[in-house]
Structure 1
Amino acid sequence: MNSWLTRDEALDRLGVRAQTLYAYVSRNQIGMQPDPADPRRSLYRSEDIDALTTRRARGRRVAAIAESAVSWGEPVFATEISTVIHGRLIYRGEDAVAFSRDASLEEAAQLLWASSAAPRFATSGVPAETGVAQAFSILAGLAARGQPSPGRNGAVLQADAMPAIAALAGALGAAPGAEPVHLRLAKGWRVEPAADVLRRVMVLVADHELNASAFAARVAASTGAPLVACLLAGLSTLYGPRHGTAADAVAMLVDDAARIGVRAAMRRWIDHDRPLPGFGHPLYPGGDPRAAALLADMKLEPEIVELRQSVFDATGALPTIDFALVALVRSYRLPADAPIRLFALGRSVGWTAHAIEQVMSGKLIRPRARYEGPLPVDHGHFE
């Protein structure tokens, strides 16, 4: 749970001057919000300050810097695909929230892939079953027959991605046809009135800098694996409660709020020493703009509205995309697992962009581990 410090408390903990504190805020290293008791003053996120002081205490040893980089640390790859800066998600120079107002997933792919034309994800058949299990099965089958990626140019790799993403769309419930994916997904799920919001969700989750699943896709690509195998690596990594299935915990919290009341539900989670899921994001101290955009356009259920306000009043934390996806499920009566399906389909476009960029770099991703286990008894002979 987030806690906040006054300016004097922040300065004391950091041991810096006010100008340095403001510089950290401007570089998005420390979150800031108005003081509810006095809007003329500001409060500073204590978790960010603690993380900053920990990094400074480590010093600038190469090993320490490398280790810290893998957990919300310093950037480790150069990329032209996307970034988060000053609380904004950027797709190749475009503000992702503004771009998502009208763009389709196909247009997001065109932008993120730096393609000359929007790809098509047309499908012809209907799988016997749909869902995440079917998505894994289809991608695994395609990956096993895929061609290694070294020596192939970006256009050819994009051509590999298109039928794979089309097959993924079908596996996740999109109706067959050549229409944009969001229309076919709404038809397949029988929620046609939700088509436009499905479109916007998939564009908003299409990429998110070097997240865990994008990193996995890049690692696979760096070995020369087929493009579809990179998508499978991304999907496998996405399918974890700290990443793409984080909405499951949010749904549990919302269900608790509907059943026993918001205050009791919050108390139940906090009393079990569990952070409230769906609130607060390390990259967005001022709130996740993807969630804000989606929630602003939805007619929200009363318990969703009350939960959002109560959490903010208690912690100062704002909703994440996972909270918005759960609100979306309830408002439009989508399938219960719609969040992971939408994440997987939208993010497949970003995984493709990262995989292609990594292949074009020609570099193998192979970090070293710092061994802390025992040595052989004759370790004295090592030189």
Structure 2
Amino acid sequence: MKNNDAPLNETAFFTLSAQDVCAATGISRATLYAYVSRGIVRAIAHPGDGRKSLYDRRDMRKILAGKKRGRSRQSVAASTIDWGEPILVSKITRIADGQFYYRGKDAVVLSDTMTLEDVARHLAGLRIDADRCGAPDFAPADHATPFDRVIAMMAGQVTGPTARDGRPMAAKLMRLAALAAAGIGDDGESPIHVILARAWGAKSRSDAPELLRRALVLCADHELNASAYAVRVAASAGASLPASLLAGLATLSGTRHGGLTPRCRKWMDQVAKGKIDPAFDPVGNNVPPGFGHPLYPDGDPRTRAIMQSCGQVGDAFWARIAARVTDETGQYPSLDFGLALLERELDLPKGAGLGIFAVGRMAGWIAHLFEQRQSGKIIRPRAAE
């Protein structure tokens, strides 16, 4: 006979029973189960009784915070802006139980085989054929980083001649973004990851094109993040394709979004040279740049996939550094760490990590743009004092 009151090993430190959650928060079991179904509270199987579940202790804070705020119209609206409940209905990407899914399919699994072109078709219905899209209409030397070149290209598309605004144009803009990041013209045949590998001279590893392919797929979308929301706001107001995508690029550049990637690269360079302690953040925060993600308290699956593909596991240098930071801060490496790592491992040009982020995320932005247009609604919140 099983003793269901026996110690539950380390799981017990991180979980609570349904009875404990309800007692601590004052909610009913029916409400708890509703929170689980909505992804607000995570449930795991009870190791001692298969008929029961245990609930993540950390998620109880969400319930308590919600009760403290109350459910007034203003408090609900405020909660949605800061990692709150979804404020827009979207079928593009879902994040749940430490994983994320592109239209219902595990994105990490998709990254095993798919190209960015495949994912753009899956997410946004795009058909990105290798075609001669021409070359950037500026000298690459005039724009120091891949991301700078993507921004310049998209700004030129906004102010250039009016073009059709449907999926064929969106597919062309995606390929133009890749060519701008690469700083070269189109060869009319290569997929995006091969174009980037060739242009950036990623010859330090024979698997460089495959590593770039996986990273691009993992960057393709991540639910209602700040840049995707910016694209949707612009699209809801009737902005053109390039104008909406430029809004996404501008937002991605922020130091609390994609701009964390170059910050993390700088931190990694200092660590590698022995100039700073790995757990020290040069700008004075508690956690170094590139660590911690509110949606992945147990670690970012995108980063795990990139680190494993690069061989950074076990006793490998950056695997040990990441483990030490996690031990000292409780925060796991985020996508920014993974992209900065890839930039170092492949000896890519300065800023290539953010360039990968921007080119890959273009697929998700386009999917959000068309989904928002289909809704026929303008995003226009009200202000409250």
Report the TM range for the smaller structure's normalisation.
0.7 to 0.9
- With normalisation by structure 1, the TM-score equals 0.81
For 1:226 and 1:363, locate their aligned partners in 2 and report how far apart those are by CA, in whole Å: 15
1:133 aligns with 2:148: yes
Whether 1:123 and 2:133 are equivalent positions in the alignment is yes
Give the drift of 1:271.
10
* Cα shift at 1:272: 3.4
What is the deviation of 1:350? 1.0
Contact in 2 for aligned 1:174/1:186 (Cα 8 Å): no
Decide which of 235, 240, 244 is 1:230's aligned counterpart: 244
Does the C-alpha gap of structure 1 residues 166 and 280 become closer, same or farther in structure 2, counting only changes over 3 Å?
A: same
- Is 1:97 aligned to residue 108 of structure 2? yes
Aligned to 1:351, the other structure's residue is in SS state: helix
SS of residue in 2 equivalent to 1:79 = coil
Query: Given the alignment, which residue of 259, 263, 286 partners 1:249?
Result: 263
Worse-matched range after superposition: 106-115 or 337-346: 106-115
- The 1-side partners of 2:132 and 2:239 are apart by 24
SS in 1 for 2:310: coil
The whole-number CA distance in structure 2 between the counterparts of 1:283 and 1:8 is 20
* TM superposition score normalised by structure 2: 0.80
Would the aligned equivalents of 2:220 and 2:363 in 1 still touch at CA under 8 Å?
A: yes
User: After superposition, what is the alpha-carbon deviation per residue over 1:58-83, rounded to whole angstroms, capped at 9, x for unaligned?
Assistant: 11111110111111111111122111
Residues 56-135 of structure 1: matches in 2 within 5 Å?
A: 56-115=67-126, 117-120=127-130, 122-125=132-135, 127-129=138-140, 131-135=146-150
Task: Assess if the C-alpha contact under 8 Å between 1:104 and 1:199 holds in 2.
Answer: yes
Deviations 1:304-346, CA, capped at 9 Å, x for gaps? 1221111232344322111111221221111231111001101
Shift of 1:141: 1.6
Structure 1's 220 and 147: CA in aligned 2 closer, same or farther, altered over 3 A? farther
* Structure 2 stretches lacking a partner, 5+ long: 1-11, 45-53
Alignment of 1:227-376 (within 5 A): 227-260=241-274, 264-266=277-279, 268-269=280-281, 272-300=284-312, 302-370=316-384, 372=385
Q: Deviations over 1:165-187 (max 9, x none)?
A: 22221211154212101101111
- Does the 8 Å contact 2:95/2:223 carry over to 1? yes
Could you tell which deviates more after superposition, 303-312 or 71-80?
Answer: 303-312
What is the root-mean-square deviation in Å for CA atoms of aligned residues? 3.3
Please give the residue correspondences for 1:157-168 in structure 2 after superposition, counting only pairs within 5 Å: 157-168=166-177
Deviations 1:186-205 (A, max 9, x none): 11101153111111111111
- Deviating more after overlay: 14-23 vs 285-294: 14-23
Identify the residue that residue 143 of structure 1 maps to in structure 2: 158
**Distance in structure 2 (CA, Å) of the matches to 1:360 and 1:45:** 39
Q: Tell me if structure 1 keeps the 8 A contact 2:40–2:62.
A: no
What is the Cα deviation at residue 26 of structure 1?
7.4
Amino acid at match of 1:226: S
Q: Distance in 2 between matches of 1:190 and 1:320?
A: 26
Partner secondary structure for residue 295 of structure 1: helix
Asked if the contact 1:26/1:86 (under 8 Å) is kept, the reply is: no
Contact 1:257 1:303 (C-alpha < 8 Å) held by counterparts: no
Q: Structure 1 CA distance, aligned partners of 2:239 and 2:382?
A: 21
The 10-residue stretch of structure 1 (61-70 or 138-147) with the greater mean CA deviation from structure 2: 138-147
SS at match of 1:134: helix
Identity of aligned residues (%): 37
The structural deviation recorded for 1:280 is: 2.5
Q: Alignment partner of 2:95: what SS?
A: strand
Check the 8 A contact 2:15/2:57 in 1, yes or no.
no
Letter in 1 for 2:302: R
Is the 2:179–2:195 contact (alpha carbons within 8 Å) kept by the matching residues of 1? no
> Structure 1 residue 296: deviation in Å?
1.0
- Cα pair distance change 1:121/1:242, threshold 3 Å: farther
| CA separation of 1:270 and 1:261: change in aligned 2, threshold 3 A | closer
- Once the two structures are superposed, residues 136-173 of structure 1 have per-residue CA deviations (whole angstroms, 9 ceiling, x without a partner) of 2221121123659xxx8xxx611121222222212111
Output the amino acid matched with 1:283: L
Partner of 2:64: 53
